[in-house]
Chains A and B, each alone.
Chain A
Amino acid sequence: MKKVFFFVGKGGVGKTTLSTSLAYYLSRQKSNVYFASIDPAHNICDIIGCPPFLGEREIEHGLFVEEVDVESYLRRFLRKIIEEIKSTYSYLKIINLDRMFEVIKNAPGMEESAIMHGLNDIIDRHRDMDYIIIDTPPTGLMLKIFSLPFITGTWLEGLRDLRYRILDRRAAIFAIKGKEYFGKNVAIDKKKDKVLKEIMAQKALVDSLIKTFKEKSIFILVVNPDRLSLMEGIRIKNALSNINIHIKLILMNKSGLLPLSLDIKEFSHIPIKKIPFLENIAKEKIYQLADDWAKDILCLYPEMSK
């Protein structure tokens, strides 16, 4: 895998159109491209002009497309938890856990977590592709998804250290009082502690995502010339900078439709490409859209060119 492209920006600025155009462009360069949307309200199929489908499909030679089913990740995660709980807490069998988890599924933060897991899974499954292109949800959800691995990583480090201290104390008591003190199901050994194992597994997942964001990813900000979209673009750039993710290219979509209505000196150190407004999103037009700027971004990273 050479690079992962993330298209970010305010809702409706044209992220899906421009990410589709890059996907077409790269696949015409004889590269294998995996193009996915992690926006729960997908519209890749609307752009490429086909009925929605589940899973991944090769729509052109070397171009694989998927509208990621976020809810399926959530369902799989909760199913696994239910099974584990049923086996550990056997006395809870009288409670209808399935119904309880229907409520938990809609709890705050669960959707972002599911998208984060989904994102990690699709990147992991497509490491053999030349490029991965990800169309992201609008700003609010997108910022939560990208900051979640960093926040979670910090938490997991704290929990891991506390867990080590707990296991050290247990080992000290065990050495003096023997195994009767804790009973059968309490782990003493670090290698056998399932809690520590789960913490480490989650930590490995977030570390892998952070590594991909920092070392393998190119973040492309899509804006329109209108004031609101530009202001939100500035906020996105700053919020991502706070977690050490930097925008590498700005695509000013629908250029010419409106006069530029904001001073964009905030973007002075980032290359900006103007994309003309398309009256209709015919396939041929989308094909040509990336011709102008895709070459430039590949030139910025010569190791990416074949």
Chain B
Amino acid sequence: MNRLWKALYLRIKFLGEGLKRRSTDILERELEDMENGFALLTFGSIIGFPILPSYIGLSLLPYLEREVLVMLSKSESLDDKLAEWADLADL
């Protein structure tokens, strides 16, 4: 009986962990899109959006390492958006 309870406990624990991991998937994707957007807005002038005054982009540049990396990885997967959505929807 004891072993049964232990097995059940472990199953619930793993299920909980799995749900926990899945629960942030959408948040993570949303965060990456926001960070990507932030980097694009900040450095837009470099890729042809003549919008944000350049000095603002420059003054933020030293602190935007993560956003720049996210932007670069997003730009690499731009031709495979469908796969990204399919992955998000667990298809």
Interface status of B65 (Cβ within 8 A of chain A): yes
Given A88-B62, A195-B64, A199-B60, also A107-B34 (CB < 8 A)? no
**Contact flags B2-45 to A (C-beta < 8 A → 1, else 0):** 00000000000000000011011001101100110110011000
Q: Complex Cα distance A173/B41, Å? A: 23
Contact digits for A100-134, partner B, Cβ 8 Å, 1 yes 0 no: 00001001111001100000000000000000000
Report A64-108 residues with CB < 8 Å from chain B CB.
77-78, 81, 84-85, 87-89, 104, 107-108
Pair A159/B38 contact, Cβ less than 8 Å: yes
Give A contacts to B, CB under 8 Å.
77-78, 81, 84-85, 87-89, 104, 107-110, 113-114, 148, 151-152, 155-156, 158-159, 162-163, 165-166, 169-170, 172-173, 176-177, 182, 185-186, 194-195, 198-199, 202
Check A155/B56 contact, CB under 8 A, given A173-B27, A173-B31.
Answer: yes
Specify which chain A residues have a CB less than 8 angstroms from the CB of B20 in the assembled complex: 176-177
The verdict on A166 contacting B54 (CB below 8 Å), with A173-B28, A185-B65 known, is no
Determine if A84 and B35 form an interchain contact, defined as CB atoms under 8 angstroms apart. Answer: no
Assess A89 versus B53: contact at CB under 8 Å? Given A162-B38, A169-B30, A198-B59.
no
Known: A81-B59, A169-B31, A170-B31. 8 other contacts (CB 8 A): A84-B63, A104-B54, A113-B54, A158-B41, A162-B34, A177-B21, A194-B62, A198-B60
* 21 interchain pairs, CB-CB under 8 A: A81-B58, A81-B62, A85-B62, A87-B62, A88-B65, A89-B62, A109-B53, A113-B54, A113-B55, A152-B56, A155-B56, A159-B41, A162-B34, A162-B38, A169-B27, A172-B24, A173-B24, A173-B27, A176-B24, A194-B63, A198-B60
Residues of A contacting B55 in the complex (Cβ-Cβ under 8 angstroms): 77, 109-110, 113-114
Q: Report how far A144 CA is from B44 CA in the complex, Å.
A: 20
Give the CA-CA distance A199 to B53 in the complex, in Å: 13
Overall SS of chain B's interface: helix
Interface of A, helix, strand, loop or mixed by DSSP: helix
Interface size class of B (residues with CB under 8 A): 20 to 34
Bound CA–CA A155/B51 (angstroms): 9
Select from chain B the residue with minimum beta-carbon distance to A193: B63
Cβ of B83 under 8 Å from chain A: no
User: What residues of A have a CB within 8 angstroms of the CB of B72 in the complex?
Assistant: none
List the 5 shortest-distance A-B pairs measured between CB atoms, nearest first. Answer: A84-B62, A113-B55, A169-B31, A194-B63, A195-B63
Report how far A162 CA is from B33 CA in the complex, Å: 11
Residue among A104, A158, A163, A198 with max Cβ neighbours from chain B (10 Å): A198
Contacts of A114 in B (CB 8 A): 55
B88 at the interface (CB under 8 A from A): no
Q: Which of B21, B42, B65 contacts A159 (CB 8 A)?
A: B42
